Amino acid sequence: MPDESDHHRHVRQVAESVARERYAPMAAQLDADRSPLPPEERRYLGALGFLGITLPERYGGAGQPLLDALIVVEELAKECRPAAFQVFEANTGPARVVELLGADEHRERYLPGIIRGDITMAVAISEPDAGSAATDLTTHAKFSSGSFLLNGAKRWISNGGEADLYLVYTRLSDEPGARGIGALIVEKDRAGVSFGAQEKLMGFRGIPSADIYFDDVEVPEANLLIGPGGFRKLFTTFSIERLGNTTMSVAVAQAALDRTVKYVQERRQFGKPLIEFQAVQMTLADMVLQVEGARQLLYRAARNAGTGLPDPFEVSVAKTTANEMAKRVTDLAMQLHGGNGYTEEYGIERLHRDAHGWAIAGGTPTMQRIRIVSEMLGRSFDQRS
């Protein structure tokens, strides 16, 4: 691990203990059943203070730097991604957008419940024809007589159907591209809100995903988080979530490495432990190099962010590196486990499946590469030209 303060070592030890003792025993079953974390477990995480680490003290949070939350996410995610996801969403997801961009009324209305674990909020950006090209979204809301009438559909919504609230990126004016886009907070139980079937994903099992449909949904003006023209602010704040995503990838890879280190010292072939073979040593060393390199990039971005926004360049570098690293490291772990790595018993195939998911969510490595060059050169590139 990178050099850590006594405070961060304590945070890590507490989170590691909770992950090992409470959530590791249920992780495989949540994956097998494709079941979300039970609400009482979310409230337990809230009681521990894990859901409000980065959120302001006046609403029940701790107001700590982003790194504190990422350490907790990392330790939980090594054992149980559905549990880690709850901490991820509260500390790096749409709740942070509400904190940073919302009005006092929004913060007072939503943050205390999220911090306690009583309610959850998901972000709804992607659409069937607007994924990486987010400014192509067509979901729209027309304002009239004190409320918005929302229509459209959203795709690939993590926690879709389970979350109580949705931060919906929508077109609020007829201005083309990003200029017409803002965001509304929409309650799950509003008339006209419906959900598609739960997706059967390769990984992310235990983290629900479903389409959302808005059919003449009346949303009060008070639920307007940011008006048209706020797309850049929304996506700048989204950099925090990308660091949460990066942390998930680092955690998955570290878990694969930890299990592999144990396995190659216990498993014997040709009369001796696997670790005695030079080829195994070289592969294990490569895994260590990749995990440690990605973690250093993650921690650089988190430390430099403090309690504010991270640098977009540092975020994209960290995310791309970690996403691709996790796929490689979990694949190497599977190879060193041999046939056992291909079974569910050792948990390696589950880690490999999840690694691929985090490399897609929050902006693919391909899109992050474009962002890296844009930030490095201080200019944007029109992919439509």
Mean pLDDT of 303-311: 94
Please indicate whether the domains covering 6-119 and 232-377 agree at the CATH topology level: no
How confident is the model over 208-220, as pLDDT tens digits?
999 999 999 999 9
Own/partner pairs, 173-179, CB within 8 angstroms, 24+ separation: 173/228, 175/228, 175/229, 177/135, 178/135, 178/229, 178/231, 178/232, 179/228, 179/229, 179/231
CB atoms within 10 A of CB 309: 16
Mean pLDDT of 61-71: 97
Residue 61 in this model has a pLDDT that exceeds 70: yes
The per-residue pLDDT for 4 is 79
209 and 165 Cβ atoms separated by less than 8 Å: no
User: Angle at the Cα of 285 (from 280 to 288), degrees rounded to 5?
Assistant: 130
- What's the pLDDT band for 164 if we cut at 50, 70, 90? very high
Mean pLDDT value across the chain: 94
Q: What pTM, to 2 d.p., does this model score?
A: 0.94
The per-residue pLDDT for 320 is 97
Sequence ranges of the domains in the chain: 6-119, 122-229, 232-377
Judged by phi (left if over 0) then psi (alpha if -120 to 50, else beta), residue 117 lies in: left
The per-residue pLDDT for 312 is 94
Selecting from 2.40.30.10, 3.40.50.300, 3.90.550.10, 2.40.110.10, what CATH number does the domain 122-229 have? 2.40.110.10
Residue 349 in this model has a pLDDT that exceeds 70: yes
94 and 164 Cβ atoms separated by less than 8 Å: no
- The first and second tokens of residue 85, run together, are 């996801």
The per-residue pLDDT for 136 is 86
- The first and second tokens of residue 171, run together, are 């077109």
Which residue in this structure is represented by tokens 């195939």?
Answer: 349
CATH number of the domain located at residue range(s) 232-377 in this protein:
1.20.140.10
Fold of 6-119: Butyryl-Coa Dehydrogenase, subunit A; domain 1 (1.10.540)
How confident is the model over 130-158, as pLDDT tens digits?
777 778 899 999 999 899 999 999 999 99
Mean pLDDT of 287-291: 98
Least confident among 81-85, 138-142, 359-363 = 359-363
CB atoms within 10 A of CB 300: 16
Residue 368 in this model has a pLDDT that exceeds 90: yes
For residue 182, how far is the Cα from the chain centroid?
21
Nearest CA among 65, 75, 67, 66 for reference residue 45: 75
Give the C-alpha separation, 88 to 247, whole Å: 9
Strands 181-187 and 224-226: antiparallel
Give the C-alpha separation, 341 to 334, whole Å: 4
Give the C-alpha separation, 293 to 283, whole Å: 16
How confident is the model over 251-282, as pLDDT tens digits?
999 999 999 999 999 999 999 999 999 999 99
The per-residue pLDDT for 1 is 56
Residue 385 in this model has a pLDDT that exceeds 80: no
Kindly calculate the radius of gyration of the chain based on its CA atoms and give it in whole angstroms. 21
The per-residue pLDDT for 3 is 66
Residues in contact with 223: Cβ distance below 8 Å, sequence separation at least 6, in sequence order: 148, 184, 185, 186
Query: DSSP letter string over 203-237?
Result: S-TTS-EEEEEEEEEEEEGGGEEE-TT-HHHHHHH
- What's the pLDDT band for 231 if we cut at 50, 70, 90? confident
- The first and second tokens of residue 273, run together, are 């432990």
Residue 2 in this model has a pLDDT that exceeds 60: no
- What's the pLDDT band for 291 if we cut at 50, 70, 90? very high
